[in-house]
Chain A
Amino acid sequence: MTDTPPAFTLQDLGGTSRSFPTGRPSLICFAKEDCATCNLVAPLLEAFHQAWGEHADVWMVAQARDGAEILRDRHGLTLPILDDGALRTSLAWDFESVPAVFWTGTEGATAPVMEGFVKAEWQALSAQVSEALGTPVPQVDWTGLPDWRPGCGSKHLDPGIHDRLVAEAEGSPIRARRIEIAGSDDIDEFLFDQGFSDGLPLVPPTPERVIRMLAGTTRDPQDIVAIVPPNMAPATVEKVAINAVMAGCRPEYLPVVIAALEAVCTDEFNMHGVNATTMGASPVLVVNGPIRHRIGMNMKLAALGAGNRANATIGRALRLVVRNLGGARPGGVDRSTLSSPMKFTMCFAEWEEGSPWDPLHVERGFQREDSVVTAFAMTSGPVQIVDQESRRPDQIAGTLGLGLEGMFLPKIHRMPVDALLVVCPEHINTLTVDGAYPKDRLRARIQEVTSRPLREMVSNDVSGAGIPVASAAKMTAEMLATPVPKFADGKYIHIVVAGSEAGKFSAAFHGWVTGAMGSTVVSRKIDC
C-alpha cells in the first residue's frame, strides 16, 4: 500500500464534477484513446463497474476530451469517464504509462499502480476487490485476453507537454514574474519593446523552455549565482536560465554560463568597470576541459567567429544577464565611446589537442580533466597577425610580438596590461619545427622584439601620446636610449591555441586596465 494520491476534481462527460477521494473504495484508471492496451482494458473496466458499482467507484480518467468520447462510444461504456485533457491530474499522480490503475481500498490506502496490462495482475485485482467488497467477481472472459501487453507512454510525459505542466504545477520551481503577451501582440516585437534585447531577436523565455533549461544544472533554481553589477542584482539560477533561453542556449550550456557569471561578478574581474568604461571593454570567455567536446564548442575553423551555437550563445547569455539583471545598457551605465561587437558575445574554446603547451586552465592551476571558463576583460579583438613567410621559430615568435605592439598605440610600451594571444595551428607548426618552444620563451621573444628606446615613446608632432616632453627633458640621453618592451612583464601575455589547420593567421585581444585599478583575469571551474 502507498500514500493516497493527490485529491482532484474533474468533470465527467455529462458535465458532473467528481472528486477524489470519493468517500468509497475506488478504482481509477488513466487511459488514452489511441493506446491499444487502453482499448484492451476498457471493457474490463466496464465489467468491474457493473460488478462493483454499488459499493465502489470505478472511473476512467481520459487524457483528452475527444478521446474520452471515442472510448465511450467505441466500447459502449457506462462507467464515469473523467476529462483530464489538461493533464494536471495525470502529472500529479506521477505514473509513466497508460493504462495506469490505482485501487484505493476500503481502508483508504492505495495499492501500487499497475501500468500496462499483465493478465495475472488484473485477475488478482478482480478477485481481491470482489472479496473485499463482498460482490460476485466481474464477468470477464479472461481466456480471450493476452497474458501481457505493454502500455503506452502517458500523454503528460510527451515532450513539450511535460515541461509546461511542471512549470504550471503547484510546487513549480519557477518564481519569476510571469508576463502575459496578448495574442494580438507580436511576441518578438514585444521583447524588443521591453528592452530585453541586445539588438538581435530573442528566443521567448516561456515557462516550459525555462524548465528545460533548468534541467541543464543540478543547482537549485533559487540559488544565487552572483550579485550582478551595476545594479547589484541577485542572479538566481532561474534568472540566468531565463536569459540563457533568450540567448538561444541549449540546457547543457547552462553550467558554462553560470560559471562565467560567477567569474565576471567577482571584485577582481570588476564587471562594473568593464561595463562602464568609455574604452568599451567586454568579457572574452575561453573554455577549457572536457566540456568543450561534450557541448560541441568550436575551437578550430572559425573558432572566434560566427557559426557555432555554443560559442555564440554562451557569450550572449552572459551579456544578457549583465544587461537585464545588472542593468548595464548602452547610454546607461555602459558608456563605451565606440563599443565593440564583443558586447554581443565573445566566447570560444581552446584547441588543447592542437597545442604543444599546457592548456590555459592547467597553466592557471586547474587539473586537465577539469572544465573551466576563464574571463578576460578586453577592449579590442580579435586583431589578426598575418605572417605567411616566416619559416623559423624565432621569426614567427617575432611576428607575434610585432603583432602585439599595436595594442592601444604602437608607441606606448611597458604596459601593465593583459593581452590574449591566440596562436593558430600553422604558426604553432613553425614555432615547434625544431622542437619545443615553451610559452615563456615566446613571451621573452615578444618582449625582445618589441623593445624600443624610451625616446621613441616621447610625445612629439606625430603623436602627442606618450611621455610628456617636460618629463623627457629631465631624463639623460642614456635613460632615453634604454630599450623598453611592450609589456611591463611577460605575465601579461596570455597564450592559447585555436583555429583551423589551414592558414597562417593568429590573432590577439587587447586588454583594458589590468589589476586592482581595473580588471584581473578570473577562472572558474564549471560545475558539470
Chain B
Amino acid sequence: MTTILDPTDERVPVERQITPRTGSIPGVIGLLDISKPRGNVLLDELERLLAARFPDNEIRRYAKPTFTKPCPTDLRLKIKAECSVLVEALAD
C-alpha cells in the first residue's frame, strides 16, 4: 500500500441535470456574445429564430469585454438577475 496526496482541488464534481423541456421559456432570454469576431452573426440569427418562436419573451443581448478573459463578475450578476435562460455563443 502506498499513500499519495491529492494534487487536485478536491472538488467533487456536481452532476447537473438537464432542465426539463416543456416547450416554453419563462421570462427573459439572454444572448451573450463573448466578443469573438462573427459571434454576433450567430447571435443575430439565433435572436431572429427565437423571436419568431417565442414572441412573448423579451430577448436581451450582452457582450463580454473580451473573449480572452472570464466574464466580469458584475456582468455575470447582471445577467443572472435579469434573465431566466442564457445562450452563450462560443467561438472556434
Whole-angstrom CA separation of A517 from B92 in the bound complex: 18
Chain A residues with CB below 8 A from B6, complex form: 176-179, 242
Chain B, 3-35, contact with A by CB distance < 8 Å: what is the 0/1 string?
111111111000000000000000000000000
Is A325 in contact with chain B by the CB < 8 A criterion?
yes
Within 8 A of B (CB), among A233-263: 233-234, 238-239, 242-243, 246
Segment among A8-16, A180-188, A357-365, A427-435 that sits at the interface with chain B = A180-188
A272: nearest chain-B partner, CB-CB: B70
Q: Are B9 and A196 in contact (CB under 8 A)?
A: no
| Interface residue from B2, B7, B8, B69 paired with A272 (Cβ < 8 Å) | B69
A210 at the binding interface (Cβ < 8 Å) = yes
Q: When the two chains form their complex, are residues B5 and A205 in contact, meaning their CB atoms are under 8 A apart?
A: yes
From A181, A182, A183, A270, give the contact of B4 (CB < 8 A).
Answer: A181
Q: Does B84 contact A (CB under 8 A)?
A: no
> Measured between alpha carbons, how far is A183 from B2 in the docked complex, in Å?
7
Minimum CB distance partner of A208 in chain B: B3
The interface on chain A, measured as residues whose beta carbon lies within 8 A of the other chain's beta carbons, has a size of: 46
Cβ B9 vs Cβ A176 within 8 A: no
Is B1 located at the chain interface by the 8 A CB criterion?
yes
B4 — which chain A residues lie within 8 A by C-beta?
178-179, 181, 187, 191, 204-206
Is B92 in contact with A335, judged by CB distance below 8 angstroms? yes
Q: List residues of chain B with CB within 8 A of the CB of A174.
A: 5
A176 with B5, Cβ < 8 A, contacts A231-B11, A233-B11, A335-B92 known = yes
CB distance from B80 to the nearest CB of A (A): 17
| Residues in A whose Cβ lies below 8 Å from that of B10 | 176-177
On whether the beta carbons of B3 and A179 are closer than 8 Å, the reply is: yes
Give Cα A480–Cα B82 distance, bound, in whole angstroms: 49
- Collect the chain B residues with CB atoms within 8 Å of residue A182's CB: 1
Chain A residues, CB < 8 A from B11: 231, 233
Question: Once the chains bind, are A242 and B1 in contact (CB under 8 Å)?
Answer: no
Chain A, Cβ-Cβ closest to B91: A278
- Chain B 21-62 per-residue mask, 1 if CB under 8 angstroms from chain A, else 0: 000000000000000000000000000000000000000000
Contact residue among B1, B3, B9, B66 (Cβ-Cβ distance under 8 Å from A234): B9
CA A191 – CA B2 in complex, angstroms?
A: 12
A335 and B7 alpha carbons, distance in the complex (Å): 23
B16: min CB distance to chain A, Å: 15
Docked-complex contact A178 and B3, CB < 8 angstroms? yes
Complex-state Cα separation, A180 to B1, whole angstroms: 7
Return the contact of A204 from the options B2, B8, B69 (Cβ within 8 A).
B2
Q: Are the CB atoms of B68 and A513 closer together than 8 Å?
A: yes
- Taking the closest CB of chain B, its distance from the CB of A206, in whole angstroms, is 6
User: For the complex, is A289 an interface residue (Cβ under 8 Å from B)?
Assistant: no
Contact between A180 and B3, CB atoms less than 8 A apart = yes
A246–B7 touching, CB < 8 Å: yes
A80 to chain B, nearest CB (A): 32
| A406 interface contact, C-beta 8 A | no
- B2 in contact with A205 (CB, 8 Å): no
Distance in angstroms from B10 CB to nearest chain A CB is 5
Across-interface contacts of A210 in B (CB, < 8 A): 5
With a CB–CB cut-off of 8 A, which chain A residues contact B70?
229-230, 232, 272
Q: Are A178 and B5 in contact, CB atoms less than 8 angstroms apart?
A: yes
CB nearest neighbor in B for A335: B92
Complex CA gap A230/B70 in Å reads 8
Most A C-beta atoms less than 10 A away, residue of B2, B6, B7, B69: B7
Q: When the two chains form their complex, are residues B7 and A320 in contact, meaning their CB atoms are under 8 A apart?
A: yes
Cβ of A518 < 8 Å from any Cβ of B? Answer: yes
Contact partner, A205, options B7, B66, B92, Cβ 8 Å: B7
Asked whether, in the complex, the Cβ of A239 is within 8 Å of the Cβ of B1, the reply is no
Report how far A267 CA is from B70 CA in the complex, Å: 10
Question: Of B2, B7, B66, which contacts A181 at CB under 8 A?
Answer: B2
Q: Is the CB of A324 within 8 A of B7?
A: yes
Roughly how many angstroms separate A365 CA and B3 CA in the complex, as a whole number? 45
- Cβ B69 vs Cβ A273 within 8 A: yes
With both chains docked as a complex, state the minimum distance between the C-beta of B72 and any C-beta of chain A, in angstroms.
10
Q: Is B3 a contact partner of A206 (Cβ separation < 8 A)? A: yes
- A179-B3, A181-B1, A206-B2 known; A518 vs B68 contact (CB < 8 Å): yes
Q: Is the CB of A499 closer than 8 A to any CB of chain B?
A: no
What does the 1/0 interface line of A205-237 toward B look like (CB < 8 Å)? 111001000000000000000001111111000
Contact assessment for B5 and A325 in the assembled complex, using a CB-CB cutoff below 8 Å: no
The 6 closest A-B pairs by CB, nearest first: A273-B68, A233-B9, A177-B6, A176-B5, A324-B7, A242-B7
Additional 6 contacts, C-beta under 8 A, given A206-B2, A207-B3, A242-B7 = A207-B5, A231-B9, A270-B68, A272-B69, A325-B9, A517-B66
**7 A-B pairs (CB sep. < 8 Å):** A179-B4, A180-B1, A205-B5, A206-B4, A207-B5, A228-B9, A233-B9
